[in-house]
Amino acid sequence: MLKVFKYTLIDLARNRFVLGYALLMLLVAQGLFVLEGDPTKALLSLVQVVMALVPLIALVFTVVYMYDTLEFTQLLAVQPIRRSAILGGQLLALAAALLLAQAIGLGLPLLVHSPTVAALVLSLSGSVLVLVFAALGALIALKQREKARGVGVALAIWFLFVLVYDALLMWGMFTLSDYPIEPFVVPLAGINPIDLARIMVMLQVDLAAMMGYSGAIYKNFFGSVGGTFAAALILALWVAVPVLFAFRVFRQKDL
């Protein structure tokens, strides 16, 4: 597995897309901090960028990369290596490359311009989002034979998590506002990994508002130690479950 990891990582290091991702994030983050002047405001803008862009890139890149390396994977599969080792090595290398790119593109500007707890939470949430969506991307790529179809599904899933889910949730909130929806809003907001990551960041940057009446319900849950563990658990599940499914699919797949 380590050999597969190593060679995949070397391949990824030469991949222009990963380098491009690091540069893009660096440009966006650095640009925001320089043009905005106010690090606080730049951080807030960056939150939106990270919550939309990071899942998209992690998802699409993983899907595309899995298709592109299919021949190499086939070559590996005829060697006396266990299939789980092949996929494990590849996924680890993908995660490592994306996280490294993100550390350079996002982590570094944050560290330089705004070394605060909020920035730390933002880069951690961003990293977790990378893992979640890389895992989802791997599963999609293994499930769909056709590349175009796979990318299409990936885009649809991204769209679902970043926009449609929120829209539906908000529509539900307003339609059912006469009913006691309180027990449902916290779990429903917490299921979507992007929403969950955003709430974690919000508890830092919008703390004053979250202490008010409207934010209290979220603050009381996610702001507590138990809530933080629950959030971490949910995010871990979002990584673990797709990865497990991916292994299952890969083991039985006719390459």
Nearest to 88 by CA among 214, 207, 243: 243
Instruction: Give the chain's length.
Output: 255
CB of 238 to other proteins, least distance (A): 18
CB of 133 to other proteins, least distance (A): 15
Contacting range for other proteins; rule: CB under 8 A; set: 83-91, 133-141, 167-175, 231-239: 167-175
Q: Which of 111, 156, 191, 236 binds other proteins (CB under 8 A)?
A: 111
CB of 227 to other proteins, least distance (A): 13
Decide: is 74 part of the binding site for other proteins (CB under 8 A).
no
78 vs 73: CA distance, rounded Å: 9
Decide: is 32 part of the binding site for other proteins (CB under 8 A).
no
Decide: is 126 part of the binding site for other proteins (CB under 8 A).
no
Contacting range for other proteins; rule: CB under 8 A; set: 64-72, 148-156, 196-204, 231-239: 196-204
Query: Phi then psi for 161, rounded to 5 degrees?
Result: -70, -35
Q: Which of 25, 118, 157, 246 binds other proteins (CB under 8 A)?
A: 118
Spell out the SS3 assignment of the chain: CHHHHHHHHHHHHCCHHHHHHHHHHHHHHHHHHHHHCCHHHHHHHHHHHHHHHHHHHHHHHHHHHHHHCHHHHHHHHCCCCCHHHHHHHHHHHHHHHHHHHHHHHHHHHHHHHCCCHHHHHHHHHHHHHHHHHHHHHHHHHHHCCCHHHHHHHHHHHHHHHHHHHHHHHHHHHHHCCCCCCHHHHHHHHHHCHHHHHHHHHHHHHCHHHHCCHHHHHHHHHHCCHHHHHHHHHHHHHHHHHHHHHHHHHHHHCCC
Identify residues 210-229 at the interface with other proteins (CB under 8 A): 210-218
Decide: is 124 part of the binding site for other proteins (CB under 8 A).
no
CB of 108 to other proteins, least distance (A): 7
Contacting range for other proteins; rule: CB under 8 A; set: 126-134, 145-153, 191-199, 242-250: 191-199
Which is nearer to other proteins, 11 or 166 (by Cβ)?
Answer: 166
Decide: is 205 part of the binding site for other proteins (CB under 8 A).
yes
Nearest to 48 by CA among 67, 34, 32: 32
Decide: is 103 part of the binding site for other proteins (CB under 8 A).
no
Which is nearer to other proteins, 80 or 183 (by Cβ)?
Answer: 183
Contact 242/138 with Cβ under 8 angstroms? yes
Q: Which of 71, 80, 117, 225 binds other proteins (CB under 8 A)?
A: 117
Where on the chain is the footprint of other proteins (CB under 8 A)? 30, 33-35, 37-41, 43-44, 47-48, 51-52, 108-109, 111-119, 162-163, 166-167, 169-170, 173-174, 177, 181-182, 185, 189, 195, 198-199, 201-202, 204-218
